[in-house]
Amino acid sequence: MAPGFGLQAHKEEMEIAQAEAPRLLRVKWWTDPGLRKLYGCCAVVCLASATTGYDGSMLNGLQILPVWQEYFNHPSGALLGLFGSIYSIGSLAGLPFAPFMADRFGRKSSIWAGCAILFVGVAVQSAAQDFRMFVASRFFVGFGCTLAQLSSPLLLTEIAHPQHRGAVTAVYNCLWNLGAIVATWLTYGTFNIPNNWAWRIPSILQALPSLGQFLLLFWVPESPRWLIKMDRGPEALKILAKYHANGDETDETVLFEYAEIKETLRLEYLFKKQSSYTDFFKTSGNRYRLFLIATLGLFSQWSGNGLTSYYFSSIMDSIGVTDPDTQFKINGSLTIMSLIISVSCAFLIDRVGRRPLFIAATAGMLATFIVWTVCTALFEANGNLAAGKAVIAMIFLFSATYAFAWSGLLVAYTVEIMPFKLRAKGLMVMNFFIQAALVFNQYINPIGLKRLTPQWKFYTIYCCWISFELVIVYFFYIETKGPTLEEIAKIFDGEQADVGLADISEVKADMRGMSYEDQKHSTMHVEASAGRWR
């Protein structure tokens, strides 16, 4: 029987899944040649996240550039909202294609297609002759980024060693801040160029991360899970062995991974056939997953962070910080701090857990945003300089607490809680809610900042919303630390989970006493025990 809905209903399943998590041989990636190669490949995959971060920060920087403002006649209000939201509209348009391509043609093919479309968008953007041309280019940039951004974490989580999966996948989204740092300081460096190259140079260089990813992806392995799904098991086994055991196809961890993946996919195929979006509504476990990924997408963008990501200049103007040079330096410092904190917390998720980080981040965001709102009200009432400085401090603290969880776990948590057959679709649904929230945010925020005055009144809406977020996170977000990707399904689906019955102790027992020749044929035993499923 499947568990009910809510944290308490799944408490027993959480404890069972964590207790039954396999005790795999611990490895140190920095001393293992195969893992060093693997995480070099993972760095290539992470370039998609840096590309997205570059884009968001570049837009902030361009709005600070006087030459950009003059060239495009100082866009504001609804026009500025369209400028911000058209990227998300392009992303929404690309979402239906991303899971189809990732599942049908492979994770890498979808990334390549996304990079190619982004090149087109960047070319049009960099050559823009008027604001309409610039806005149109943003649609293609958003479309291409979505294909790459959705498929990259799928590939990342499916090639990572089980011991490092959580941290590696969490680091992926944290590298948004790396791209943001490059864009922020690059735009700062072009600030004093007295012509349109001040904004065209950052725009052209936006293509570099995707170009690097496009070329280097040829050396990155395809997802073993996808290969097994396509009945290419021997290729998958070679990849698992090459990167997780330095080519040893008889390694117990490799055999366990291979057997569990193959059996789980066989069960999914046997009982559920082809997946569809209606599967999200068919079981209580999938409805719970849908609820979680919807809130992940919405909360990640509706927590006030969109203000600092896209309308930083307007916020600084409201507290009397109008010097562009000062604004650049504050924004650049924010991105550096966010990168350091988010990556540090990404390496803590397997020690601290996902749930404590989510709670700490959301509670911290609420506390700092309340103080931010109060200080803004004091400044707007009487021009209190100390209150204005306090707003800057609160923006730093808010960004720091956001980085505890919402930077890294946004993607990592989504791909963890989804079974393979719904993983691409689940990530697409989560991204749909992100982009829908961004369209709303990027269109409404500039209007709200302009019309709802004094500005602190607009901020109170976010204070109420973040309070609601904290309630949802506390009562509904489940801990997933410990179990493998396949076994996490037990937390949501209970006895109905389609999980392979591979047992690490059985794998070890099979390996003991084998001759070398027997071990060479052990993969045939794994193949037979898992069974053909396609």
430-448: pLDDT as tens digits: 988 987 887 777 777 777 7
Q: Which residues, in sequence order, are CB contacts of 211 under 8 Å at separation 6+? A: 115, 119
Q: Return the pLDDT at 525.
A: 43
Among 9-23, 333-347, 400-414, which is the least confidently predicted range? 9-23
Q: Return the pLDDT at 437.
A: 86
C-alpha R_g of the chain: 24
Confidence of residue 519 (pLDDT cuts 50, 70, 90): very low
CA dist 268 and 499 (Å) reads: 8
Q: Return the pLDDT at 515.
A: 41
What does CATH list as the number for 33-222+271-481?
1.20.1250.20
Strand, helix or coil for residue 150: helix
**What tokens were used for 122?**
């960047």
Confidence of residue 2 (pLDDT cuts 50, 70, 90): low
Does the pLDDT value for residue 512 go beyond 70? no
User: If you average pLDDT over residues 47-56, what whole number do you get?
Assistant: 90
Q: For residue range 55-64, list pLDDT tens digits in order.
A: 877 887 787 7
Q: Return the pLDDT at 73.
A: 84
Please state the domain extents for the chain.
Answer: 33-222+271-481, 501-530
Residue type, 433: F
Does the pLDDT value for residue 111 go beyond 70? yes
User: If you average pLDDT over residues 499-526, what whole number do you get?
Assistant: 47
CA dist 464 and 461 (Å) reads: 5
Counted residue by residue, the chain has a size of: 534
CA dist 246 and 430 (Å) reads: 35
| Terminal Cα distance for the chain, rounded | 27
Residue type, 15: E
pLDDT more than 90, % of the chain: 41
Does the pLDDT value for residue 346 go beyond 80? yes
Q: Return the pLDDT at 246.
A: 93
Q: What is the DSSP string of 295-312?
A: HHHHHHHTTTHHHHHH-H
Q: Which residue has the tokens 């389609």?
A: 498
Does the pLDDT value for residue 501 go beyond 60? no
User: If you average pLDDT over residues 507-519, what whole number do you get?
Assistant: 47
Q: Which residues, in sequence order, are CB contacts of 340 under 8 Å at separation 6+? A: none
Confidence of residue 358 (pLDDT cuts 50, 70, 90): very high
Which residue in 313, 94, 116, 123 sits closest to 206, CA to CA? Answer: 123
pLDDT more than 70, % of the chain: 85
Confidence of residue 273 (pLDDT cuts 50, 70, 90): low
Strand, helix or coil for residue 162: coil
CA dist 504 and 509 (Å) reads: 9
Alpha carbon separation from 79 to 82, 85, 86 (Å, rounded): 5, 10, 11
Distance of CA 83 to the CA centre of its chain: 23
Confidence of residue 361 (pLDDT cuts 50, 70, 90): very high
Confidence of residue 499 (pLDDT cuts 50, 70, 90): low
**What tokens were used for 56?**
């968001």
Does the pLDDT value for residue 529 go beyond 80? no
What is the CB neighbour count within 10 angstroms for residue 219? 10
Q: What's the angle, vertex CA 291, arms to CA 285 and CA 295, rounded to 5?
A: 150
CA dist 137 and 130 (Å) reads: 11
Does the pLDDT value for residue 321 go beyond 80? yes
Q: Return the pLDDT at 203.
A: 93
Q: Are 145 and 95 in contact (CB under 8 A)?
A: no
Confidence of residue 3 (pLDDT cuts 50, 70, 90): low
Does the pLDDT value for residue 429 go beyond 80? yes
Q: Are 234 and 197 in contact (CB under 8 A)?
A: no
pTM of the model: 0.80
Confidence of residue 514 (pLDDT cuts 50, 70, 90): very low
Strand, helix or coil for residue 242: helix
Q: Are 482 and 359 in contact (CB under 8 A)?
A: no
Among 128-132, 457-461, 481-485, which is the least confidently predicted range? 481-485
Q: What is the DSSP string of 118-182?
A: HHHHHHHHHT--SHHHHHHHHHHHHHHHHHHHHHHHHHHHHHS-TTTHHHHHHHHHHTHHHHHHH
User: If you average pLDDT over residues 196-200, what whole number do you get?
Assistant: 92
Residue type, 82: L
Does the pLDDT value for residue 270 go beyond 60? yes
Q: Return the pLDDT at 159.
A: 94
111 or 514, higher pLDDT: 111
CA dist 433 and 53 (Å) reads: 18
Among 121-125, 181-185, 344-348, which is the least confidently predicted range? 181-185
Q: Which residue has the tokens 């399904």?
A: 489
Does the pLDDT value for residue 252 go beyond 60? yes
- Phi, psi for 445 (deg, rounded to 5): -55, -50
Q: For residue range 67-79, list pLDDT tens digits in order.
A: 888 888 887 767 7
Which residue in 497, 66, 75, 69 sits closest to 289, CA to CA? Answer: 497
